[in-house]
Structure formats: C-alpha cells, structure tokens
Amino acid sequence: MSVDKIINDWKKKSFKPIYWFEGEEEFFIDKAIEYAEHHILSESEASFNLSVFYGKDANWPDIINACKRYPMFAERQVVLLKEAQQMRDVEKLESYIDNPLSSTIFVVSYKDKKLDARKKFAKLVKEKGVLVSTKKMYDKELPQWTQELLQTKGLTITPKGLALLVDHIGNDLTRIENEIDKLSVNLGKRTSITEDDIEKYIGVSKDFNVFELQAALAAKDLSRSIRIIQYFEANPKAAPIQLVLPSLYSFFSKVFMVFGANTQDERAIATAIGVNPFFMKDYLQAAKLYSYPGVEKALLLLHNYNLKSVGVGSIGTDDASLLKEMVVKIMS
C-alpha cells in the first residue's frame, strides 16, 4: 500500500490500529508522519489525544502505556514514534502490537532500515497493521514523479524546464518539492514553469548545464562543449564532475539502445529507451554522428574518466581539465 493511498484512507476516516513506515525514502515517511501529526485529529482533539515520542529518548513501557490510554473527548487518539530506528528495545513493543486498541492509531517512523521480515515482530506488524517499505526512487523515475507532483499543485512545466530541475536537484524528493513550492510562490498567477523560471528562481543556468553539455556532445560541437565546461570551472557548484559523468553515461547508454530499436518511429524509440519524445532529436543525432563504434568508445571513455575523477590513474588533474580532455577524445 502506498503512502498516498493511506493518507486518502485517513482523509475518509478509515484507520488501522498500527502503521509502520520504514525504508530508504524519507520523503514518503515524513509525508505520512506530518499528516498523522497535524491532520488526523482536530486542533482541540490533539491537545488531549496526541502523543509524540522520539526513538533515541523513548522507553518502550511509556509508549505502550500511551497506546493503551483511551481517548479524551474524541473517538480516537494518535501516538507517534519518530526515528524508531534509534530505539534500542523497539521489539519490546510486540506485546502491544499483538493486541492493539482500536481507538489508538499508532504510527511509527523507521528510517533507513527495514524490519527483518523473517522475525516474528515484523510478521506481527504486518498482520495487525500496515507495513510500508519505501525505496529510493530510480533516477529514470524522477521526471514522471516530478511531473505528477506538479500536476497535484496545479502547475505545468516545459520539457526542458523539467530536465533542468531534475538534473540539478537529483534524487532528493523533499528538495524537489521545496523548489517547486518556491517556484509556485514566485510565479504569482502563472501556472506554467519555463526554463527561464528555473534559471531565475533556482539558479540553474539554462545555457550552461549538464543538459546543454549533453546536447553539445550529441552534435559533436567541441567549442560549445568547452565553453560549458569553462562555465563549470568558474562555477564549481553548478555541475560537479561527480554529477556530470553519470548524466553523460546515462545519455550515451540510451543512445546505444537506439541501435537496438526495431523501428524508425521516433515516439516508439523514445518509449523503448525511456526518454521524453521532445528530446529524441539529440539521441538520434548522436546515434547518426557517432555510429555504433563511436558510442561504444564514448561509454568506455566515460567509465575511464569516472575512475580518473576519483584519483585512479590520474592524480592532481583538476576536474575541468579531465572533462575537456574527455570530450576531445569522445569527439575525435
């Protein structure tokens, strides 16, 4: 069951006695905890019926006693256990989980870890309540997720604007949402986000970024590639090499997949390799200009220069020099 489904159930006043949110993706765990803390109960109900514990400081008997209390002036009470992964004796909550009160909603945040599914405690949580395990979102899933998030906020974005936003922030869902909220405030009455807005309000250059370097490489435009790398050199935070190389590797990996597509239809190829059709021209151009051996060579060079960027086979060479040397070799 997803966090969004659970929150929708809560909005409909449909509750289970126990909710256990665990795993790697803090964004979804925090979203559930925030809603449970501030929206399940009204403000007047919460003053008597909301208990919040933190794993590092909490004692299991206190949590169980809180869960066993009956609500005052309300149908139910909420007990939150945050950062439960820091609690030493968390499995001693088993006696309550085995026999929970229907009038208590016990919500647990267990970040960066998962219960051992083989143990009785995990099986009991799953049997008596709702166990949600979250995973870090894959990079390829970020554009679609961001697009859907924008839609829930009544916003749209240009394809290039979306690419800039996602490439700049990476796999940090909380930051993506915060930046979108900041954009929404600055847009005023407008609802469409452009690459100009990304540049103005988030600080990502629309002309000098990883996405534009990718396009320059696709076109075998060496002078433009060098200008972009020089911008990176002058603005180290704009695109550190640790972000540039994986992005370029992903690009050429998808160009490589173009050769295996059994169709000439651009939209079909875009679907097959997992890219927005708006950007297919770059992938097709790269496939044409580099050919199969050239793309293989680019992937091998990107791998080698990734090693050099961490000091393997190259000591003391600055990042900009590595990138310049690499793009010259890729295009030669």
Q: Please count the residues of the chain.
A: 332
Same domain as 324, residue 214: yes
CA distances from 108 to 7, 120, 147, 149, 310 (A): 14, 17, 29, 25, 39
Identify the pLDDT of residue 176. Answer: 95
Same domain as 112, residue 173: no
Identify the pLDDT of residue 138. Answer: 87
DSSP-assigned letter for residue 203:
-
92-102: b or e for each residue (b if 16 or more CB lie within 10 Å)? ebbebbeebbe
Identify the pLDDT of residue 80. Answer: 98
Dihedral sign for Cα 126, 131, 136, 142, please: positive
Full-model pTM: 0.78
State the residue range of the domain holding 174: 139-202
Same domain as 18, residue 79: yes
Would you say 19 and 2 are in contact if contact means Cβ atoms under 8 Å apart? no
DSSP 28-42: HHHHHHHHHHHTSS-
Split into its structural domains, the chain has a count of: 3
Same domain as 255, residue 237: yes
Angstrom distance (rounded) from CA 253 to CA 218: 13
Question: Which of 156, 181, 202 is at the close of a domain?
Answer: 202
Question: Which of 134, 162, 192 is at the close of a domain?
Answer: 134
Identify the pLDDT of residue 262. Answer: 82
Same domain as 307, residue 220: yes
Same domain as 130, residue 143: no
Identify the pLDDT of residue 238. Answer: 85
DSSP 246-275: HHHHHHHHHHHHHTT-S---HHHHHHHHT-
Spell out the SS3 assignment of 89-120.
CHHHHHHHHHCCCCCEEEEEEEECCCCCCCCH
Same domain as 309, residue 248: yes
Same domain as 165, residue 99: no
CATH number of 125's domain: 3.40.50.300
Q: Chunked in runs of 10, what are the mean pLDDT values of the chain (332 residues)?
A: 93 96 95 97 95 95 96 96 95 96 97 92 95 91 93 94 89 94 93 94 90 94 96 90 92 95 88 89 95 96 94 85 96 94
Same domain as 327, residue 215: yes
Same domain as 281, residue 315: yes
Question: Which of 76, 105, 134 is at the close of a domain?
Answer: 134
Same domain as 308, residue 185: no
